[in-house]
């Protein structure tokens, strides 16, 4: 086991939250989860790999959509319980909704309002219908 992995404060499920931030703009693109294997694979491959809690398997960002994240740097926060990935987002879409980033809703006057456009409809990204 790599010593640097032992410095991460993994939660009870063996996961750590991972924030993807666009390296050139500083925009926060998304929040996902990583286990040890995902973090180690990310370091080795240079591409973001997360742990899918819904599918219970490794999720190589962009494996279906082609919207990969090339990792430029990996940071650990001061409490060792969150990871920050500085990434170059391929295809300009990080969110499964077809938006540039997952944080597209803003609280305005007590309501969540979508403030960023859909760049590409999810059906055309993932081939789903309905």
Domains, the chain, ordered by start: 3-91 (3.10.20.810)
Q: Give yes or no for residue 95 having a pLDDT over 60.
A: yes
Lowest mean pLDDT among 28-32, 73-77, 93-97, 108-112: 93-97
pLDDT on residue 130: 42
The Cα 26–Cα 20 span in angstroms is: 10
pLDDT on residue 65: 87
What phi, psi does 85 have (nearest 5°)? -105, 125
Cα–Cα nearest to 49, from 57, 97, 128? 57
What average pLDDT does the segment 2-8 reach? 93
Ligand-binding annotation for 79, yes or no, is yes
User: To the nearest whole number, what is the mean pLDDT of the chain?
Assistant: 94
Highest mean pLDDT (candidates 61-65, 69-73, 124-128)? 69-73
Ligand-binding annotation for 92, yes or no, is no
- Reported confidence tier of residue 14, pLDDT bands at 50, 70, 90: very high
pTM above 0.85, yes or no: yes
Ligand-binding annotation for 102, yes or no, is yes
pLDDT on residue 128: 63
Q: What is the three-class DSSP state of 123?
A: helix
Cα–Cα nearest to 32, from 82, 106, 88? 82
Task: Report whether 78 contacts 52 (CB < 8 A).
Answer: no
Ligand-binding annotation for 99, yes or no, is no
């Amino acid at each position: 086991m790599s010593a640097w992995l032992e410095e991460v404060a993994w939660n009870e499920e063996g996961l750590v939250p991972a924030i993807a931030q666009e390296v050139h703009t500083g925009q926060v693109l998304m929040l996902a989860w990583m286990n040890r294997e995902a973090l180690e694979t990310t370091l080795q491959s240079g591409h973001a790999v997360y742990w899918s809690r819904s599918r219970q398997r490794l999720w190589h960002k962009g494996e279906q959509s082609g919207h990969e994240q090339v990792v430029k740097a990996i940071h650990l926060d001061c409490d060792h319980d969150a990871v920050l990935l500085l990434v170059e987002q391929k295809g300009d879409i990080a969110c499964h909704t077809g938006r540039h980033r997952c944080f597209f809703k803003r609280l305005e006057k007590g309501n969540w309002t979508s403030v960023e456009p859909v760049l590409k409809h999810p059906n055309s990204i993932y081939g789903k219908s309905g």
